[in-house]
Chain A
């Protein structure tokens, strides 16, 4: 195989090429590292490369292949890991200065599962600081550029994870999604991104932003690869008390089932003012494709949608204010040299280590949990969260999946929204409700704008019904031709 073709593979192609001896896991890894060296200077998707660990794993896979052993599902597949996930011995900055120099002594469960399934882990991917952002401009290590339009953002917070897959700097990657951080960058970069149901994939080893919302999920080049990744990642983890012991898997097989007869819901609240007409048209075209494949298209209502963004920003920031307390300069990462007292150490370290968006959210969250304000903010937000969840449960009584836009606009220009946090927060308008409700969702490419910017369509599924969601996504993908 040519070097070029080595970095242009899907999971399925890469694995079968290794299995058939057309290439080796080592050659795949090296080809990707070579490409990263050239292409990533401008894109800035990788923060650190784990070359040694990757090559050891690649050799292991190659030895298995040589002995003719049955290869695991991700054998030899080069995968990138968002820098909020712990990889033993590799830097884990979460895009923040406060974690500069910190190397976790353990692997996240998802990292562990990928490696056990044969994946070759190339390195750590750039992201918004502590996964807080919608453009990847909040990384302390510089923004990531959108490989499909280099003057534009890749989306966030998993901007590096989306960009790396989009630019063939890995075959698949792990991202995290708290309020849209997988789906939005997937849409911006023209790749597939999956938000699994809350509890479906372990959070152990994920540097927490908002624990009740954080989820780990894959970025891939197509829907089948996403199903393959999810099959490896999903399932109960004894190290995460919020992970579910409901049976997982069967996602790849589910793709074989036709979508004929499935009822698809279209929520009117997701097609209102502010939605880019080209995105509206692309989503409607995707719906037409589903109709043609035999699905019934039905209007549904999610009446509390307008409260989703404020609700999300209360709950997410409240949890973040607590989760980020451990970054105090005492045990790891940055420590200011100038402290004269203990509280001075805390204050100065945190002042120097956190960026402005993180500080803003810590302040918001601290306020929401403060004595006298808890009931009006945090408690109220939890009540609205219940209503939002009920909206979805009611809709899913009538339909099997919901289809909607992922974002109101395609990828915007670097610097375009950095001065206006509210504008940036509204980027999440179509993604946060599913986050709050805990249901599964994903973004699938469904065309381009006239300026050749990728457009994504969002497919939402019932709690733990990733199989149906993936089937619908596969049908949308198939209709693209």
Chain B
């Protein structure tokens, strides 16, 4: 990563960065925000359009009910208060991909306000803490179309406009200036994305632009009371770059101040290729948007009854789910975090784990043996040859000692090598079982002889010790003893 100027750690340490984020999230509604056009990414240019989203003279917007429900659900998931009566407003500006010459948005009466989410952070001593980041507001608006400046033979002197995206419902989520480091920015975005994915209102795909982020960055001397002048860093459209973009801007501003200059309030464009931000021409940003209430849309009323109906769709959110899984399945924090990273995976895991004798063992096989092999083979979760049900079988076989961990590894290797699910491989390669009663009895005798203390316990009434003998014999047989016969014979021997 390049920096604006080479600044020593001592100089950087003098300053306190202050960061707030504005995150735009496209909602996965069936149709667009204000018309009946299909709301889908891509498509032949200018095919998902109608008089309304083309901004043709005379066409009018009609609010999409599903968009309201998704916005309210998103707002609730980040602990916002829902405003019963919110108002749409026109944000006026000229741009070719904004066909009406204004964007329908919300201004002084947004649909939701005063929320928060919690993110992992570090305190000044470096100890891990949970930090609450305030959310100022969540408001609804429509997306613009796309200006395509290159890729055509005559791109040198023409710009093409694709209005398929125009009118896609968005929510803009504005945080308080509560973030202090690029890492906190990254964590905030990660948590926000995770929560929104859980609600299902968006796919939060930064590459396709369904989640977009602008960062308001300022710096002040540590201990100062007033924030410095902020610059808005736009176009940070990848998780990969958010940290470096914010870090670059912090250092740039410190550099400006250290050289005796002043930070200018402006919008700056992040260029990921060069790893730096550029000032956008100040003339273009001297906007007076002339907001006023949108006369084509009556105020939006989401009363208590409708809110209650919408909230029914609110799932258990990641933080709560992690806590429950730790409690219920005895997982550690890291495993719980991995399993709950997406709602879909966590759901599938839970269904499977509940069928298994030990959910914890399902988690551990999944997160060690399976994940390791997926990484080695460069496969995604979806491409895994081993299904969750396959993992459940493997966990159960391990749990009752039918197979050893060495056998498990061999079976999984075969699964991955042949791209076949675990049960199929197990049925075929089922490690040879010893079903000869004499041979098993002989091994039991051996174990009994070697463990007089446990025999004494058993015979003293602690019947559960039987499991110990079963395990020992299974180990001795390298997992090949017929478990049913083994169980029966152990009890018989110990009771005799």
Chain A positions within 8 Å of B, measured between CB atoms, are 84-86, 92, 94, 99, 102, 104-106, 108, 203-208, 210-212, 238-242, 318-319, 321-322, 324-328, 330-332, 342-343, 346, 366, 369-371, 374, 378
Inter-chain CA distance A332–B100, complex, in Å, is 12
Which of B14-22, B49-57, B66-74, B488-496 makes up part of the contact surface? B49-57
In whole Å, how far is A48's beta carbon from the nearest beta carbon of chain B?
15
Establish whether residues A322 and B92, one from each chain, have CB atoms under 8 Å apart when the complex forms. Answer: yes
Q: When each residue 283-304 of chain B gets 1 if its CB lies under 8 Å from chain A and 0 otherwise, what string results?
A: 0000010111001111000000
Chain A residues near B310 (CB-CB < 8 A): none
B54, B291, B292, B297: the one within 8 Å of A331 (CB): B54
- A204 close to B59 (CB less than 8 A): yes
Q: Which 6 A-B pairs have CB atoms at the shortest separation, nearest pair first?
A: A325-B101, A211-B295, A369-B290, A212-B295, A207-B57, A205-B58
Additional pairs, 20, CB under 8 Å, beyond known A86-B58, A104-B51, A242-B60 = A86-B57, A92-B57, A94-B57, A105-B51, A106-B59, A208-B58, A208-B296, A241-B60, A325-B92, A325-B94, A325-B101, A325-B102, A327-B57, A328-B101, A330-B161, A331-B55, A342-B96, A371-B290, A374-B290, A378-B292
Pick from A85, A94, A205, A327: contact of B59, CB below 8 A.
Answer: A205
B298 cross-chain contacts in A, Cβ below 8 A: 241-242
Distance, CA A86 to CA B63, complexed state (A): 22
Contacts of A330 in B (CB 8 A): 96, 99, 161
Known: A326-B99, A366-B290. A241 touches B63 (CB 8 A): yes
Nearest B-chain residue to A211, judged by Cβ: B295
Please tell me if the beta carbons of B55 and A326 are within 8 angstroms of each other in the complex: yes
- Which residue on chain A has the smallest CB distance to residue B100? A326
Chain A residues closer than 8 Å to B161, beta-carbon distance = 330-331
B 69-112 binary contact with A (CB < 8 Å = 1; else 0): 00000000000000000000010101010011110000000000
Complex contact A241–B296 (CB within 8 A): yes
Offer 13 A-B interface pairs, CB within 8 angstroms, sorted by A: A86-B57, A86-B58, A106-B59, A206-B58, A208-B296, A241-B61, A241-B298, A242-B60, A242-B296, A369-B290, A369-B291, A370-B290, A374-B292
Question: Which chain A residues lie closer than 8 Å to B288 at the CB level?
Answer: 370-371
Instruction: Find out whether the CB atom of A318 lies under 8 angstroms from the CB atom of B292.
Output: yes
For residue A431, give the distance in angstroms from its CB to the closest CB of chain B: 19
B-side contacts of A343, CB under 8 Å? 94
Q: Would A322 and B102 be within 8 Å (CB), given that A241-B63, A342-B96 are in contact?
A: yes
What's the dominant secondary structure at chain A's contact region? loop
Is the CB–CB distance between A238 and B62 below 8 Å? yes
B 149-199 contacts with A by CB, 8 A: 161
Least Cβ distance of B40 to chain A in Å?
22
Which residues of the partner chain A approach B96 to less than 8 Å between Cβ atoms?
Answer: 328, 330, 342
CB distance from B297 to the nearest CB of A (A): 5
B58 touches A104 (CB 8 A): yes
CA A479 to CA B273, docked complex, whole Å: 82
Q: Known contacts A211-B295, A322-B292, A331-B99: does B56 contact A104 (CB below 8 Å)?
A: yes
Q: Check B57 against A104 for contact (C-beta < 8 Å).
A: yes
Complex alpha-carbon distance, A327 and B55, angstroms: 10
Given A104-B51, A322-B101, A325-B101: A240 in contact with B60 (beta carbons within 8 A): yes
- What's the minimum C-beta distance from A360 to chain B, rounded to whole angstroms? 17
Within 8 A of A (CB), among B307-336: none
Contacts of A84 in B (CB 8 A): 58
The chain A residue with its CB closest to the CB of B163 is A331
Q: How far is the CB of A204 from chain B (nearest CB, A)?
A: 5
Contacts of B290 in A (CB 8 A): 321-322, 366, 369-371, 374
- Knowing A328-B96, A331-B54, A370-B290, the reply to whether A319 touches B60 (Cβ < 8 A) is no
Minimal Cβ-Cβ distance residue in B for A130 = B57
Which residue of chain B has the shortest Cβ distance to A365 in the bound complex?
Answer: B290
Name A319's closest neighbour in chain B (CB-CB): B295
Chain B residues positioned under 8 Å from A371 (CB to CB): 288, 290
Given contacts A318-B292, A330-B96, A369-B290, contact A207 B102 (CB under 8 A): no
A85, A210, A318, A328: most-surrounded residue (chain B CB, <10 A) = A328
Q: How far is the CB of B488 from chain A (nearest CB, A)?
A: 73
Residues of A within 8 A of B54 (CB): 331
CB distance from A335 to the nearest CB of B (A): 11
Q: Which residues of B contact A239 (CB under 8 A)?
A: 60, 62
Q: Shortest CB–CB separation between residue B51 and chain A, in angstroms?
A: 5
Most buried by B among A203, A318, A327, A331: A331
Contact residues in A for B94 (Cβ distance below 8 Å): 325, 328, 343, 346
Give the chain A neighbours of B296 by CB distance below 8 A.
208, 211, 241-242
Nearest neighbor of B147 in chain A, beta-carbon distance: A342
Q: Which of these, B56, B59, B101, contacts A332 with CB under 8 Å?
A: B56
A92 CA to B59 CA in the complex, in Å?
A: 13
- Give the most central of A92, A104, A108, A325: most B CB within 10 Å: A325
A374 vs B92: C-alpha distance when bound (angstroms): 14
Q: Are A369 and B60 in contact (CB under 8 A)?
A: no
* A343 vs B56: C-alpha distance when bound (angstroms): 21
Instruction: Verify A108–B58 contact, CB threshold 8 A.
Output: yes
> In chain B, residues 219-235, which have Cβ atoms closer than 8 Å to a Cβ of chain A?
none
Q: Given B51, B57, B59, B292, which contacts A369 in the complex, CB threshold below 8 Å?
A: B292
Nearest-neighbour CB distance to chain A for B205, whole angstroms, equals 29
Inter-chain contacts of A92 with B (CB < 8 A): 57-58
Give the shortest distance, in Å, between B57 (CB) and chain A (any CB): 4
Which residues from B are CB-within-8-Å of A105? 51, 56
Chain B neighbourhood of A99, CB < 8 A = 57
Give the residue among B290, B291, B296 with the most A Cβ atoms within 10 A. B290
In the bound complex, CA of A62 to CA of B27 (Å)? 50
- With the chains together, A369 CA to B89 CA distance in Å? 12
Please, how many angstroms separate the alpha-carbon atoms of A206 and B55 in the complex? 13
Q: Which of B55, B60, B102 contacts A204 (CB 8 A)?
A: B60
In angstroms, Cα B290 to Cα A366, docked, is: 8
Closest-by-CB residue of A relative to B283 is: A343
In the complex, what distance in Å separates the CA atom of A308 from the CA atom of B296?
Answer: 22
Q: Are A326 and B101 in contact (CB under 8 A)?
A: yes
**Which residues in B have their C-beta under 8 angstroms from that of A369?**
92, 290-292
Residues from chain A with Cβ under 8 Å of B99 in the complex = 326, 330-331
- B55 shortest CB reach to chain A, Å: 5
CA distance A208 to B100 in the complex (A): 12
Min CB–CB distance A239 → chain B (angstroms): 6
B191 to chain A, nearest CB (A): 35
Closest CB-CB distance, B33 to chain A, in whole Å?
12
Task: Name A206's closest neighbour in chain B (CB-CB).
Answer: B58
The complex places the Cα of A105 from the Cα of B90 at a distance, in Å, of: 25
A331 CA / B162 CA spacing, docked (Å):
11
| Least Cβ–Cβ distance between B29 and chain A, in angstroms | 17
Q: Which residue of B lies closest to A207 (CB)?
A: B57
B295: chain A residues within 8 A (beta carbon): 210-212, 242, 319
Contact residues of B between 261 and 300, Cβ < 8 Å to A: 288, 290-292, 295-298
A residues less than 8 Å from B100 (CB atoms) = 325-326
Q: Which A residues are in CB contact (< 8 Å) with B291?
A: 369
